[in-house]
Copies of this chain bind each other. A is one copy, B any other.
Amino acid sequence: MEQRKPVCLVIGAGSGIGGHVGKRFAAAGYHTVLCRRSDEEGLARLVAEIEENGGSASRQILNAAQDNTIEDLVAQTERDIGPIDVAVFNLGAQIGDRPLEETPYKTFELGWRLAVFALFRLGSALTPHMVDRGHGTILVTSATAAVRGNAGQHSHAGAMGGRRMLCQSLNAEFAPKGIHIAHILVDGPVESPDTLGKLLLGDDGYRKLLEEKGQGKDELIIPSELADTYFHIAQQHRSAWTHEIDLRPFTVLPWWNH
């Protein structure tokens, strides 16, 4: 009889951090449940790639901003696939730099819905299961905007600052119950065709950046390398858990430097 694999749920599994973290856990023997809002085809390719490498994965298109989506995802995964051992919360809320007067109310609210409220909903849905089992891990991708506001970052920082304080609050309640919450401060640009490419720079800008700073030069975060740290944190012994960690390429100034 086959033993059930531990389950790793990734919310926000695009071509950058989320997808690579999913692959990393799959390579280590987890069944990964990969969710993203769009690009069903890309998601299918990701699952296929994992399976070709001998891993196990499933996929789901998920609009995390909508009611009940995260709640249903957690319930279905627990019921149909298995106990969620690790959840990776990787929803971004970056919209680029915009002056206040070009930041519509709806945009600001959506930033909060994705960055803070969706995590609160995940925590509400998932922690009861993990508390029952006495263990579990929630890895939360975060950004520089969680530790300092900046010009044009009203929406992003106003959301990520809440995310960070929510992570500390979740940690205070649930760490003593065996649930490891980590706030992972990604403090540098990530090689990600979806986010950095389509969303922030456009295809041309992204290609140029890749040439200048990309693989080989290592001045952009390579998500498959970053994924090793996500995996390490999830494996830490409960006598030595990390709650907050920062990461950036060697040539990128930390957020506190000019």
Binding site for B on A (CB under 8 A): 99-101, 103, 105, 108-109, 112, 116-117, 120-121, 123-124, 127-128, 145-154, 157-176, 178, 180, 218-222, 225-226, 228-229, 232, 235-251, 253-258
* Chain copies in complex: 4
Query: Known contacts A100-B173, A166-B157: does B120 contact A257 (CB below 8 Å)?
Result: no
Q: Please measure, in the bound complex, the distance between the C-alpha atom of A128 and the C-alpha atom of B123, giving whole angstroms.
A: 39
Q: Please measure, in the bound complex, the distance between the C-alpha atom of A100 and the C-alpha atom of B122, giving whole angstroms.
A: 11
Contact A222–B251 (Cβ < 8 Å): no
Query: Known contacts A239-B225, A241-B250: does B151 contact A124 (CB below 8 Å)?
Result: no
Q: Please measure, in the bound complex, the distance between the C-alpha atom of A229 and the C-alpha atom of B148, giving whole angstroms.
A: 24
Find chain B residues with CB under 8 A from A247 CB: 236, 240-242
- Which B residue sits closest to A148, measured CB to CB? B256
Contact A176–B251 (Cβ < 8 Å): yes
Contact A180–B149 (Cβ < 8 Å): no
Q: Please measure, in the bound complex, the distance between the C-alpha atom of A174 and the C-alpha atom of B127, giving whole angstroms.
A: 41
Contact A250–B238 (Cβ < 8 Å): yes
